[in-house]
């Protein structure tokens, strides 16, 4: 067998593919994070987690790598500007950060800071998001685009923001909104610039395909677009219609869809201008995908294009259609959220225990038999070879069944039955070891391969930290952050701390054949073994929920200053039990009071001694103010 190396781990875990140059393995076999792919600096994540523990910040902990956020924004702007230059496009490009992707204060404030020199704007999709965005855009020139449903109050707020001089463009998402704006104008004399969201015929590709296309929830179909134009013209307000918007869904997997959507939207743009609209902006929405699994398989977790290809296509298609009709090139906005935020945050969790397939320990030295199927299995355990592994497979299945039958007839003891089951596991493992060295695994063994996995209990909640893994089977890179110089010999399925049988990760970046498990190292009781869950910066941080009352994890922001030199800030303590109980309307003081009363009664009835009652009360209170996850 070839010697294992960190290089093999890099390949196995596809680190270079999904990691996009932000992650690499050092000579110690630890995973490191980098501020940007071309930076000479890196921070060893194992060392970071050890140092966090020294500060009493225990896993699970969410690590926010701010440099990555900055780098992604730079990449996006640079790529659009390169396309603009290369193609001789006359308009400008500005990125909009759609805050729905991650509304965390740390993220939005960082975006605004890093975005100053690229003219970054914000996109708000609800009233709450609008209120937040209005306060945060202290620079009056920051573009604001408002999507989502708009009631009278929303329209009024937008009107006032416009009066203040903010560059705000509300986008009409359904026909009735145009009437609300007209009513508001008639009442106040204020009409902001408007956008219109187009429902394209082009449908997206991938998990979010239904966000686009004719049956999508949002946007106006062509007849409605024409009606809006006529209606605004009737009120002599058509010169306020400045922006055409579309969004064909998040994580577009196929570049063809982008090309088609751009051609269709650009044609509508031109025709709207012909109808008298004074359009200056085209907003191409979100959808720019990221490669979560690096497999290039046809799944919605991966994409078939590069950033440059995407920006070239966007710019080229708009330019081509405008040039055909002699229309000036519009300013381009994009609302790429996932692309900007996905890579920047990761969760480090520790493995609590492993189980499931650890049956073989039982057999060590405890089992003997003179004859019969059990004896055959004992012999088989050391007799699996390249020549006979399939035969051994068939034999073992038969012997195990014979022992089970003998047990049912009363001829085999429970201890011997246990021995047979354990031996069987051990033999299967040997068979698989041999089979894996072969060029192709025989089909007969595929099922066996899938069943030979260990359950690794990880200290986190899937529902809180990785909701899309549960809700839509999205794949995220999950890999050990240390020991990468050693072969990960176990096939594992990660389960969380909730008591929900759905609290289990079923899809991994895997390989072409099987993505139902992740390769991990053997973990002995007492070992500290850390696993990182990566690319969770988009959508996961705020979609998470309180299943089984597991709350927010601890989180910390890191800026990389040099090799293993970093600045930590914005430590946010994860929810305590008191906090999560508060979310569901319980009062910690009241609960402590109720508990004390019950303990007092137990003392009265002499069920507890005074010392025991004091100890229990201490424990209860400590638990109430402690972390919702396992603590050491």
Ligand X SMILES: Cc1ncc(COP(=O)(O)O)c(C=O)c1O
| Footprint of ligand X (CB under 6 A) | 98, 101, 123, 147, 247, 250-251, 285-288, 335-339, 538
User: CB of 80: closest distance to ligand X in angstroms?
Assistant: 14
Nearer Cβ to ligand X (218/529): 218
User: CB of 452: closest distance to ligand X in angstroms?
Assistant: 37
- The three-class DSSP label of residue 9 is helix
Count, in order, helices (H) and strands (E) of the chain: 22, 20
Nearer Cβ to ligand X (159/286): 286
Task: Pick the closest to residue 282 from 91, 83, 87 (CA basis).
Answer: 91
- The three-class DSSP label of residue 368 is coil
User: CB of 203: closest distance to ligand X in angstroms?
Assistant: 15
**Side-chain half-sphere of 587: how many Cα atoms within 13 Å?**
4
Nearer Cβ to ligand X (247/482): 247
Other CB atoms within a 10 A radius of the CB of residue 544 amount to: 21
Residue 20 neighbours by CB under 8 Å, 6+ apart = 37, 291, 343
Nearer Cβ to ligand X (30/147): 147
User: CB of 547: closest distance to ligand X in angstroms?
Assistant: 24
Tokens of 318: 């708009």
Tokens of 105: 């204060």
d(CA 444, CA 466): 34
Nearer Cβ to ligand X (14/197): 197
Facing residues of 123 across strands?
98, 145
User: CB of 280: closest distance to ligand X in angstroms?
Assistant: 19
**311 Cα distance to chain centroid:** 24
Find out whether 515 and 507 touch, Cβ atoms under 8 Å: yes
Find out whether 339 and 56 touch, Cβ atoms under 8 Å: no
Nearer Cβ to ligand X (96/161): 96
User: CB of 117: closest distance to ligand X in angstroms?
Assistant: 21
Nearer Cβ to ligand X (310/627): 310
Find out whether 260 and 196 touch, Cβ atoms under 8 Å: no
User: CB of 592: closest distance to ligand X in angstroms?
Assistant: 43
Please report the sign of the dihedral spanned by the C-alpha atoms of residue 249, residue 251, residue 255, residue 256. negative
User: CB of 120: closest distance to ligand X in angstroms?
Assistant: 14
Q: Encode 347-385: b = buried (16+ Cβ within 10 Å), e = exposed.
A: bbbbbbebeebebbebbeeebebeeebbebbbebbeebe
d(CA 520, CA 478): 10
Nearer Cβ to ligand X (136/327): 136
Nearer Cβ to ligand X (246/627): 246
User: CB of 340: closest distance to ligand X in angstroms?
Assistant: 8
User: CB of 346: closest distance to ligand X in angstroms?
Assistant: 18
Task: Pick the closest to residue 291 from 202, 206, 204, 203 (CA basis).
Answer: 206
Instruction: Say how many residues make up the chain.
Output: 632
d(CA 494, CA 352): 11
User: CB of 339: closest distance to ligand X in angstroms?
Assistant: 6
Nearer Cβ to ligand X (338/547): 338
Find out whether 124 and 143 touch, Cβ atoms under 8 Å: no
Nearer Cβ to ligand X (337/574): 337
The CA-based diameter of the chain, rounded to the nearest angstrom, is: 100
Residue 608 phi/psi, 5° resolution?
Answer: -125, 145
User: CB of 331: closest distance to ligand X in angstroms?
Assistant: 17
d(CA 226, CA 354): 62
d(CA 249, CA 308): 19
User: CB of 342: closest distance to ligand X in angstroms?
Assistant: 8
Nearer Cβ to ligand X (218/460): 218
Nearer Cβ to ligand X (252/427): 252
User: CB of 122: closest distance to ligand X in angstroms?
Assistant: 11
Q: Which helix (H) or strand (E) holds 196?
A: strand 194-197
Nearer Cβ to ligand X (65/290): 290
Other CB atoms within a 10 A radius of the CB of residue 116 amount to: 11
Query: Nearest-CB residue to ligand X?
Result: 286
Nearer Cβ to ligand X (110/432): 110
Find out whether 112 and 120 touch, Cβ atoms under 8 Å: yes
d(CA 575, CA 142): 34
- The three-class DSSP label of residue 241 is strand
Task: Pick the closest to residue 576 from 592, 552, 548, 594 (CA basis).
Answer: 552
User: CB of 159: closest distance to ligand X in angstroms?
Assistant: 21
Can you give the three-state secondary structure of 433-500, one letter per residue? HHHHHCCCCCHHHHHHHHHCCEEEEECCCHHHHCHHHHHHCCCCCEEECCCCCCCCCEEEEEECCCCC
Nearer Cβ to ligand X (148/192): 148
User: CB of 171: closest distance to ligand X in angstroms?
Assistant: 8
């Amino acid at each position: 067998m070839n010697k294992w190396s960190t290089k093999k781990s890099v390949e196995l875990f596809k680190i270079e593919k999904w990691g996009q140059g932000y992650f690499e393995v050092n000579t110690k076999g630890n995973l490191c994070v980098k501020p940007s792919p071309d930076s000479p600096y890196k921070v060893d994540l194992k060392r970071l987690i050890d140092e966090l523990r020294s500060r009493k910040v225990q896993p699970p902990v969410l690590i926010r790598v701010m440099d990555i956020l900055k780098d992604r924004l730079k990449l996006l702007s640079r790529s659009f500007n390169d396309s603009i230059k290369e193609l001789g496009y006359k308009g400008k490009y500005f990125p909009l950060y759609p805050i729905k992707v991650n509304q965390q204060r740390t993220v939005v404030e960082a975006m605004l800071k890093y975005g100053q020199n690229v003219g970054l704007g914000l996109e708000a999709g609800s009233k709450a998001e609008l209120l937040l965005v209005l306060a945060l855009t202290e620079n009056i020139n920051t573009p604001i685009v408002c999507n989502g449903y708009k009631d009278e109050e929303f329209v009024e707020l937008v009107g006032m923001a416009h009066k203040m001089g903010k560059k705000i463009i509300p986008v009409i998402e359904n026909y009735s909104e145009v009437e609300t704006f007209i009513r508001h104008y008639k009442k106040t004399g204020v009409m902001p610039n408007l956008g219109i969201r187009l429902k394209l015929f082009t449908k997206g590709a991938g998990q979010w395909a239904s966000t686009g296309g004719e049956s999508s929830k949002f946007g106006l179909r062509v007849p409605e677009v024409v009606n809006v134009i006529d209606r605004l013209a009737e009120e002599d307000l058509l010169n306020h219609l400045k922006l055409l918007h579309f969004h064909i869904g998040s994580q577009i997997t196929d570049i063809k869809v982008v090309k088609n959507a751009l051609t269709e939207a650009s044609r509508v743009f031109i025709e709207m201008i012909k109808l008298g609209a004074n359009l200056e902006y085209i907003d191409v929405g979100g959808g720019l995908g990221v490669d979560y699994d690096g497999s290039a398989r046809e799944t919605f977790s991966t994409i078939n294009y590069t950033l440059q290809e995407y920006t070239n296509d966007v710019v080229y298609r708009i330019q081509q259609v405008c040039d055909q009709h002699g229309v000036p090139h519009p300013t381009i906005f994009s609302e790429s959220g996932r692309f900007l935020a996905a890579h920047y945050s990761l969760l480090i969790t520790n493995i609590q225990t492993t189980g499931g397939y650890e049956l073989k320990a039982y057999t060590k030295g405890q089992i003997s038999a003179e004859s019969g199927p059990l004896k055959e299995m004992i012999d088989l355990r050391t007799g699996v070879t390249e020549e006979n592994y399939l035969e051994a497979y068939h034999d073992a299945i038969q012997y195990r069944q014979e022992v089970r039958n003998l047990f049912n007839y009363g001829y085999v003891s429970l201890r011997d039955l246990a021995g047979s089951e354990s031996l069987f596991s051990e033999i299967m493992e040997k068979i698989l070891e041999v089979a894996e060295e072969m060029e192709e695994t025989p089909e007969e063994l595929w099922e066996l391969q899938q069943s030979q996995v260990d359950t690794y209990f990880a200290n986190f909640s899937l529902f809180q930290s990785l909701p899309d893994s549960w809700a839509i089977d999205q794949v995220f890179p999950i890999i050990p952050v240390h020991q990468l110089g050693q072969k990960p010999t176990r096939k594992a399925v990660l389960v969380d701390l909730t008591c929900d049988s759905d609290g289990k990760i079923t899809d991994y970046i895997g390989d072409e054949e099987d993505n139902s498990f992740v390769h991990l190292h053997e973990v002995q009781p007492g070992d500290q073994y850390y696993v990182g869950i990566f690319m969770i910066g988009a959508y996961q941080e705020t979609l998470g929920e309180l299943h089984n009352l597991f709350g927010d994890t601890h989180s910390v922001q890191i800026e990389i200053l040099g090799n293993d030199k970093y600045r930590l800030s914005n430590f946010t303590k994860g929810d305590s039990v008191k906090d999560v109980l508060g979310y569901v309307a319980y009062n910690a003081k009241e609960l402590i009071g109720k508990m004390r009363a019950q303990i007092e009664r137990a003392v009265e009835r002499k069920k507890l001694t005074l010392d025991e009652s004091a100890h229990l009360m201490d424990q209860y209170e400590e638990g109430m103010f402690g972390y919702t996850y396992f603590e050491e």
